Homo-oligomer: A and B are copies of this chain.
Amino acid sequence: MSRIDGRTAEQLRPVTIERGWSKHAEGSVLISFGDTRVLCTASITEGVPRWRKGSGEGWITAEYAMLPRSTNTRGDRESVRGRIGGRTHEISRLIGRSLRAVVDLKALGENTVVLDCDVLQADGGTRTAAITGAYVALADALAWARDNKLVRAKAQPLTGTVSAVSVGIVDGAPLLDLCYEEDVRAETDMNVVCTGDGRFVEVQGTAEGVPFARTELDALLDLAVAGCAQLDGAQRHALDTGALPPA
């Protein structure tokens, strides 16, 4: 059975990772998973939030947002409504946790990195694209920090690599990297964040309709681990060459 866009069940959408998209940020990446496009910038500054001062450790945090017309029908701006919605909060926290999982905050020293992930166009998988892109922006910002002596020359703040992908059960079949249309129809929806060595940072599975069985969960995890391994390759290629590997 083939999917809406002709992919097989275990196939990612085309992934592009464009580094150095912004002239201001210490790290910046425009990442796309198919039609989903997220601009990820990493801003590094000396110093840490008050509750961390004097600890000798740094801090990594993230903010996710969607442009009002990144979606099919325009959404209200959260700045105009005067409050951040629950979904935005949830995803911002997820991105921050995911990246902290591969950073040695002691080696970072008392510096703060803010990862801004702004969705320019949404077609499913915005949070997983954000994590995958933010990792590359973070790596660039940490390299900048070493070049600019914010971080000691021998410090290794990055302890691993991290990427994320969505999986789900659609019409009974487990599928990798759902686009919006598939996501809407999914009975179960899962976001998985993996390190480059195949371990888990986050596993978030949700039954949208009927509850799911252990065997289904296992199938989804298998798909996700394989998908993250491919994304890990795309990240490495982008970091090595500045160019995108052939899909």
Using CB atoms and an 8 Å cutoff, list the residues of chain A in contact with chain B. Answer: 22-25, 28, 35, 39, 41, 43, 45, 63, 65, 67-72, 74, 77-90, 92-93, 97, 101, 114, 116, 118, 120-123, 160, 190, 194-195, 197-207, 210-214, 217, 221, 225
Contact = CB atoms under 8 A, between A and B. Distances in A.
From DSSP, what is the main secondary structure of chain A's interface residues?
Answer: mixed
Contacts of A78: 79
Contacts of A63: 68, 77, 80
Most chain B C-beta atoms within 10 Å of own C-beta, residue among A24, A25, A221 = A24
A79 B93 contact: no
Copies of this chain assembled into the complex: 6
Contacts of A24: 69-72, 121-122
A71 to B, nearest CB: 6
Contact of A114 (B70, B74, B122, B194): B74
A232 to B, nearest CB: 13
B214 A200 contact: yes
Given A23-B121, A69-B22, A211 B205 contact: no
Given A35-B23, A86-B89, A195-B211, A200 B217 contact: yes
Given A63-B77, A87-B93, 11 more contacts: A22-B70, A23-B35, A24-B72, A79-B79, A84-B86, A86-B90, A86-B93, A197-B211, A199-B207, A202-B207, A203-B203
A43 B84 CA distance: 22
A133 to B, nearest CB: 14
Contacts of A25: 69
B69 A116 contact: yes
Contact of A93 (B41, B83, B90): B90
A29 to B, nearest CB: 12
A68 B116 contact: yes
A206 B201 CA distance: 6
17 contacts: A22-B70, A43-B68, A45-B74, A67-B118, A79-B83, A79-B84, A86-B93, A97-B206, A194-B211, A195-B211, A199-B211, A200-B211, A201-B207, A202-B204, A203-B217, A204-B204, A214-B225
Contacts of A89: 85-86, 89-90
